[in-house]
Amino acid sequence: MSKFVAFTSLGRRALPNQFDLIALVLILGAFAAAVSVGHDVTQKISAPQATAITLDYWALPYYALRTTLRMFVAILASLFFTLTYATLAAKSNRAEKILIPILDVLQSVPVLGFLSFTVTFFLGLFPGSILGAECAAIFAIFTSQAWNMAFSFYQSLRTVPGDLIEVSRGFQLSPWQRFWQLEAPFAMPGLIWNMMMSMSGGWFFVVASEAISVGDNTINLPGIGSYLSVAISQKNAGAVFAAVIAVLAVILLYDQLIFRPLVAFSTRFRVELLASGQQERSWVMATFKRTRWLRPIQKGFAKAFDRFALMRLELPGRSARPEPLSPGANRVIDILFYSSVGLLAAYSFWHIVLFVSHDLSWHELLLTIGLTSLTLLRVVFLIALATLIWVPVGVWIGIRPRIAEKIQPLAQFLAAFPANVIFPVVVVLIIHFSLNPDFWLSFLIILGTQWYILFNVIAGAQAFPSDLREAARSFNVGGWDWWRKVMLPGIFPYYVTGALTASGGSWNAAIVAEYVKWGDDTVSARGIGSYIAIATKDGNFPKIVLGVAVMSVFVIVFNRCFWRPLFAIGEKRLRLS
């Protein structure tokens, strides 16, 4: 009898349980969605069904699927970019002096600026196929996602506690092992929250990336962005509202299926001596943990990744630490390196001058400088306003995991809320009440960028060691002293990263916020954003190049003079140690 019971128990364990079935449904559903879209992106660009946009509500689920898959392909590309670009910038002093200013420029270059010069390239890669336009749209979404992830990862790598680095050296970990065993886990909380922000930031520019229009060439890719573009051009308020509901549904879905498990997973990597009293939960993670058939597969992937992360990856004969170069040799290498970079920059600058000077005058240059100064004033004012509002809110959410779990989908939706939905109301109000667009359009800039501050502050508050908070409570540190001596120093590196990316994103958002349309009605504010938007609409490439170049110079100077000193303070004086 006991053998029969044991055999029966063994047979039950060999059968899948209800959690296996739920997990299989989720996995197969994701594969089915990817396969169905994969067939459509291979159609000819001349096929009517390939680019035709209908405002029927039944088409929204398919459009939402197309947009979501584009955004996830872009987020995977952004993650690869982050792990390589940000790591190189953090590990090499020479590379940092070049890569970080380039990143400053890239995050401020508008999506329309990228599209203006890349659409032809991608269409040429796949002649006559919709796949070229898909690649252009994915690249445009990538440009709205990658930069803040790279800044976050770079900041985390530069602020790894020194005592943990010493421990890794004591265990004789190779640089590869230290990256995967210490540095990447330490950066995980901030990186995951910035991935969520990147997904939301992609929604903010989804209209510009899917309704690709440069000069006389317009390609509408099936998606929520192009659906919104058509709805706005036809003044169809019902379709606009339906698109907003679809965005909310999609965000709730991928928050529960992907980002909530990732946030719960990231709590393993907090730097603290005491276990946190409250832990993030995820029903998806709990489901996969309780499966019977899939659990061995998960363990197999985990073991494979462990072997991958524990490889030493050292060249033969290079296991010992190399002898440092002499100061003279370092000086020669620096001279050669920076001379090469300077010559390349001068060569690029000269070609920009030649390209612009054929059609534009000095007066046009002075005009762009003045317009960029106006946009700079807007950006500075709005970042200061967003800081005063969202830093206290972010800390309050971050130190309460239960609250963060409930607010996370709402925060993602607000961050993803397409600014184009607000445009009709703003245009009607400004025209009806004869308001000053230079002032009232300014607030549209911060709609999609203030969330960089909120998400990074939440990540910083969640990563703040609970044992340090307990110590502050034991010493009765409260009120303003708690903010000044405990929490603000603890989240400062995260805030600087959020504010820096919010600043760059604000320059980008100015393109769509300073020049807004509702049907045939257009309202514009004076600024470099409206200058570039109008030049893009007209297909005036010299003006586009001039506007982007002047904006880039302003961004580099502003970041070098203001944000970089703050970043250095966070890196050297306010790091955990």
pLDDT of residue 425: 74
Residue 456: which of 493, 490, 494 has the closest Cα? Answer: 494
Mean pLDDT of the chain: 78
Residue 5 has pLDDT above 60, yes or no: no
Residue 356 has pLDDT above 80, yes or no: no
**% of residues, the chain, pLDDT over 90:** 7
Mean pLDDT, rounded, for 172-182: 87
Residue-by-residue DSSP string for 272-318 = -SS--SS----HHHHHHHT-SSHHHHHHHHHHHHHHHHT-----TT-
Residue 452: which of 168, 1, 151 has the closest Cα? Answer: 151
Q: pTM score, two decimals?
A: 0.76
pLDDT of residue 255: 84
Residue 83 has pLDDT above 90, yes or no: yes
How far is Cα 383 from Cα 266, in angstroms, rounded to an integer?
A: 28
Mean pLDDT, rounded, for 100-108: 77
pLDDT tens string 293-351: 777 887 888 888 888 888 876 644 444 455 555 666 667 666 776 677 677 767 777 76
pLDDT tens string 16-69: 777 778 777 777 777 777 776 666 676 666 555 556 788 888 889 888 888 888
pLDDT of residue 16: 72
pLDDT of residue 86: 92
| Tokens linked to 97 | 């002096």
Residue 278 has pLDDT above 60, yes or no: no
pLDDT band at 77 (very low <50, low <70, confident <90, very high): very high
Residue 79 has pLDDT above 90, yes or no: yes
How far is Cα 559 from Cα 505, in angstroms, rounded to an integer?
A: 13
**Is residue 195 within 8 Å of residue 262, measured between CB atoms?**
yes
pLDDT band at 4 (very low <50, low <70, confident <90, very high): very low
Q: Check: CATH 1.10.3720.10 for 55-269+360-572?
A: yes
Residues in the chain: 577
Residue 489 has pLDDT above 60, yes or no: yes
User: Among the listed ranges 123-127, 211-215, 341-345, which one has the minimum average pLDDT value?
Assistant: 211-215
pLDDT of residue 110: 63
Mean pLDDT, rounded, for 234-257: 85
pLDDT band at 6 (very low <50, low <70, confident <90, very high): very low
pLDDT of residue 370: 92
Residue 113 has pLDDT above 90, yes or no: no
CB burial of residue 443 (10 Å; 0-12, 13-18, 19+): middle
Mean pLDDT, rounded, for 251-274: 78
The span from the first CA to the last CA of the chain, in angstroms, equals 62
Residue 383: which of 100, 204, 550, 375 has the closest Cα? Answer: 375
How far is Cα 175 from Cα 469, in angstroms, rounded to an integer?
A: 32
Residue 60: which of 312, 241, 298 has the closest Cα? Answer: 241
CB burial of residue 467 (10 Å; 0-12, 13-18, 19+): middle
More confident residue, 447 or 576: 447
Mean pLDDT, rounded, for 91-114: 75
Our CA angle for 192, 195, 200, nearest 5°, is 135
pLDDT tens string 406-442: 777 777 777 766 666 676 677 778 877 888 888 887 7
Residue 176 has pLDDT above 80, yes or no: yes
Residue 541 has pLDDT above 50, yes or no: yes
How far is Cα 419 from Cα 379, in angstroms, rounded to an integer?
A: 17
More confident residue, 468 or 182: 182
Residue 364 has pLDDT above 80, yes or no: yes
pLDDT of residue 101: 80
Residue 502 has pLDDT above 80, yes or no: yes
pLDDT band at 547 (very low <50, low <70, confident <90, very high): confident
Cα separations (Å) of 446 from 453, 501, 505, 571? 11, 12, 9, 27
| Tokens linked to 303 | 């073991």
More confident residue, 358 or 383: 383
Residue 242 has pLDDT above 60, yes or no: yes
Upper half-sphere CA count for residue 329 (Cβ side, 13 Å): 4
pLDDT of residue 403: 81
Residue 486 has pLDDT above 60, yes or no: yes
**Is residue 46 within 8 Å of residue 155, measured between CB atoms?**
no
